Copies of this chain bind each other. A is one copy, B any other.
Amino acid sequence: MIGVFDSGIGGLTVLKELMRRLPGFRFLYFGDTARTPYGTKSPETIIRYAIEDTEFLLRRGAQVIVVACHSASSVATDTLRDRFREVPIFEVVTPSVEKALALTRRKVIGVIGTRATIESRIYERLFRERDPGVRVYGRACPLLVPLVEEGWLKKPETRMIVKKCLLPLKMRGIDTLVLGCTHYPILKKLIAAKAGRRVKLVDPAEEVAERVQAFVEGKHFSSLAKDGEPLIFVSDLTPAFEEVARLFLGRRVKLLKAEDAPV
């Protein structure tokens, strides 16, 4: 079983892409809605939550872990790999970095994300390790998550805020932009419009799903459970979370309140 976790509902964009590429595989999702969001919190706290989320998925039978949350991917991946050595752990940052390097022509890349993600400077580090000549500009856009969660996808205020968020990156002359938060692909059209035609967007959901697909189809995990609907657990359940889940997954979905969720 492939386990996916996120700070909340946003990671369903990653689950959706995984299900599209790996139909028939069995998925287990955990959204930590009782403690969401992670992106405003400290690395120490995010690492603790990521360990607990991983333990939850493993307890429920996950054999592969996908960290769908960018904030957790940015600050907790090393700790998770160190702590759960036998478990293959995928995260959303590295695949986007490699895709962006493949796309950029002028080697000027922008990254937007939560405060935790941008302040970790993980993208700068990973880009420079692979190509010291690349210029990377990160920008925290904390207001986009609540705007998406309110469903304000086409409101004038959202357009203005996206434009304001991207302006400093445009002025740096980026030609590639990484959408470094699960919520941003929901605003992909608007972000593309405000970034300008020449800027290519990298959607991490697609990139990580491609990696997971290559791995599980590479006979590594022929024993993985097939068939069955995904099990989608959350640590807190409200009508608003169900509404956002529908938005992210593109269809109505049943969220299960996990009584044994980490608290």
Q: Are B143 and A150 in contact (CB under 8 A)?
A: yes
Stretch of A13-21, A61-69, A233-241 with 4 or more beta carbons under 8 angstroms from chain B? A233-241
Q: Are A40 and B238 in contact (CB under 8 A)?
A: yes
Q: Are A45 and B236 in contact (CB under 8 A)?
A: yes
Q: Does A172 contact B (CB under 8 A)?
A: no
User: What chain B residues lie within 8 Å of A35 (beta carbons)?
Assistant: 34-35
Bound complex: CA A48 to CA B34 (Å): 11
Within the complex, what minimum Cβ distance (angstroms) separates A39 from chain B?
Answer: 10
Interface size class of A (residues with CB under 8 A): 20 to 34
Q: Which residue of B lies closest to A115 (CB)?
A: B240
Q: Are B142 and A146 in contact (CB under 8 A)?
A: yes
Q: Does A254 contact B (CB under 8 A)?
A: no
Q: Does A96 contact B (CB under 8 A)?
A: no
Q: Which residue of B lies closest to A35 (CB)?
A: B35
Within the complex, what minimum Cβ distance (angstroms) separates A89 from chain B?
Answer: 23
Q: Are B41 and A238 in contact (CB under 8 A)?
A: yes
Q: Are A41 and B45 in contact (CB under 8 A)?
A: no
Q: How many copies does the complex hold?
A: 2
User: What chain B residues lie within 8 Å of A102 (beta carbons)?
Assistant: none
User: What chain B residues lie within 8 Å of A34 (beta carbons)?
Assistant: 35, 41, 45
Q: List 13 A-B contacts (CB under 8 A).
A: A34-B45, A40-B240, A42-B236, A44-B236, A45-B236, A115-B240, A142-B146, A142-B150, A143-B143, A145-B146, A157-B157, A157-B160, A157-B161
Interface residues of A in 147-164 (CB under 8 A from B): 147, 149-150, 152, 156-157, 160-161, 164
Bound complex: CA A122 to CA B48 (Å): 35
User: What chain B residues lie within 8 Å of A147 (beta carbons)?
Assistant: 143
Q: Does A263 contact B (CB under 8 A)?
A: yes
Q: Which residue of B lies closest to A161 (CB)?
A: B157
Q: Does A117 contact B (CB under 8 A)?
A: no
Partner of A33, one of B41, B149, B150: B41
Q: Which residue of B lies closest to A145 (CB)?
A: B146
Q: Which residue of B lies closest to A43 (CB)?
A: B238
Q: Which residue of B lies closest to A49 (CB)?
A: B34
User: What chain B residues lie within 8 Å of A238 (beta carbons)?
Assistant: 40-42, 115
User: What chain B residues lie within 8 Å of A145 (beta carbons)?
Assistant: 146
Interface residues of A in 193-231 (CB under 8 A from B): none
Bound complex: CA A146 to CA B160 (Å): 16
